[in-house]
Amino acid sequence: MKGFAMLGLNKVGWVEKECPVAGPLDAIVRPLAISPCTSDIHTVWEGAIGDRHNLILGHEGVGEVVEVGSLVKDFKPGDKVIIPAITPDWQAVASQRGFSQHSNGMLNGWKFSNSKDGLMAEFFHVNEADGNMALLPKEISPEEGTMLSDMVPTGFHGANNAEIEYGDTVAVIGIGPVGLMAVAGSNLRGAARILAVGSRPKCIEVAKFYGATDIVNYKDGDIVEQIKDLVGGEGVDKVIIAGGNVDTFEQAIKIIRPGGIISNINYLGTGDYIKIPRVGWGLGMGHIRVIGGLMPGGRKNMEYLARLIKYGKLDVKPLLTHRFKGFEHTEEALLLMKDKPRDLIKPVVTV
């Protein structure tokens, strides 16, 4: 079969591979729609997880089941399914603790385009199919469904970890597709004021659509000053970090109130340490919590998030700014994610 792969650091291209084989609990799926991710860019062009050779990329998609293992109960060939970016080992102790993302090792729930071939292929393999796939509701198109693999669950995970409450003032730093879903998730959880930090005009327009009340452009000066001017007083209740770099934590600490929560969902591709300013952190006693999380995978999460789209509570269409028809456009779509033109939020390829 053909697949689009990371050939090595800074190099991508088409490869030929053997078709994957399903174990008793697994499934083989062919993609119907796929979307490249900024994480693929960190992986290939920043070497964030080290070198990989001929590793097929992609972890966001909707597909059609081709084959299931003998012990798979709830899916059959022909089913249209949403595939989560994170496909944990559900029997692992870490999963029983509630951290399936780290089943059998730190970040090990993240398999596609990390420890095994991803979705940018004619066929791909899904481990523990009953636990890691969800039927695509007929009201949701495969293109829209791709946003349930990673963008919606990651943004909403950011809002959940920030424990957004009714009336909160929230700063969302970074409003690419992930940050936009953090804005949407915060809005649904009842935040009153949402300050969205970004610069691309398209992202700003869509941030307002999802509930941002204030826009802060980090290219117009220090965001700490800008946010303090806007909210005054003690600072914001919560910060969700969905963009920036290791220095962004310093800014987050400087804008949050005592007892606030900083929730990171950004993939830190470069830098060795994160800076936490001593004074801003209340000399270490400010009750400011910092949490960073990989999105939860699995079937239940996708089924519940899909209901939000199905029943009209969440519209992911504004995220899909660039649409391609045909598998051969995979490279073009991935490179768009690397170059980030001003009008881009997410590209999607219908296979």
CB-CB contact of 172 with 164 (8 Å): no
- CA-nearest of 88, 185, 171 to 131 is 88
What distance in Å separates the CA atoms of residue 49 and residue 268, rounded to the nearest whole number?
10
Query: To the nearest whole angstrom, how small is the minimum distance from the Cβ of residue 72 to Zn ion?
Result: 25
What distance in Å separates the CA atoms of residue 249 and residue 324, rounded to the nearest whole number?
36
What distance in Å separates the CA atoms of residue 171 and residue 175, rounded to the nearest whole number?
11
Query: To the nearest whole angstrom, how small is the minimum distance from the Cβ of residue 110 to Zn ion?
Result: 9
Nearer to ligand NDP, 81 or 175 (CB): 175
Among ligand NDP, Zn ion, none, residue 329 binds (CB under 5-8 Å by kind): none
In one-letter notation, the amino acid at residue 142 is P
39 binds ligand NDP (CB under 6 A): yes
14 binds ligand NDP (CB under 6 A): no
Give the residue at shortest CB distance from Zn ion.
Answer: 37
The residue from 52, 125, 193, 200 that contacts ligand NDP (CB under 6 A) is 200
Number of residues that bind ligand NDP (CB under 6 A): 29
49 binds ligand NDP (CB under 6 A): no
The residue from 36, 142, 145, 244 that contacts ligand NDP (CB under 6 A) is 244
88 binds ligand NDP (CB under 6 A): no
What distance in Å separates the CA atoms of residue 89 and residue 102, rounded to the nearest whole number?
9
DSSP letters of 171-218? EEE--SHHHHHHHHHHHHHT-SEEEEE---HHHHHHHHHHT--EEE-G
H helix or E strand, kind and range, residue 93: helix 93-96
The residue from 39, 161, 186, 187 that contacts Zn ion (CB under 5 A) is 39
Nearer to ligand NDP, 123 or 267 (CB): 267
> What residues are paired with 81 via a beta bridge?
63, 135
178 binds ligand NDP (CB under 6 A): yes
31 binds ligand NDP (CB under 6 A): no
Region of residue 106 (phi > 0: left; psi between -120 and 50: alpha; otherwise: beta): beta
Query: To the nearest whole angstrom, how small is the minimum distance from the Cβ of residue 30 to Zn ion?
Result: 20
Query: To the nearest whole angstrom, how small is the minimum distance from the Cβ of residue 149 to Zn ion?
Result: 8
Q: How far are the Cα atoms of 180, 200, 223 from residue 217, in angstroms, in the given order?
A: 15, 9, 7
Binding site for Zn ion (CB under 5 A): 37, 39, 85, 150
Binding site for ligand NDP (CB under 6 A): 37-39, 42, 150, 154, 173-179, 197-200, 203, 218, 242-244, 248, 265-267, 294-295, 340
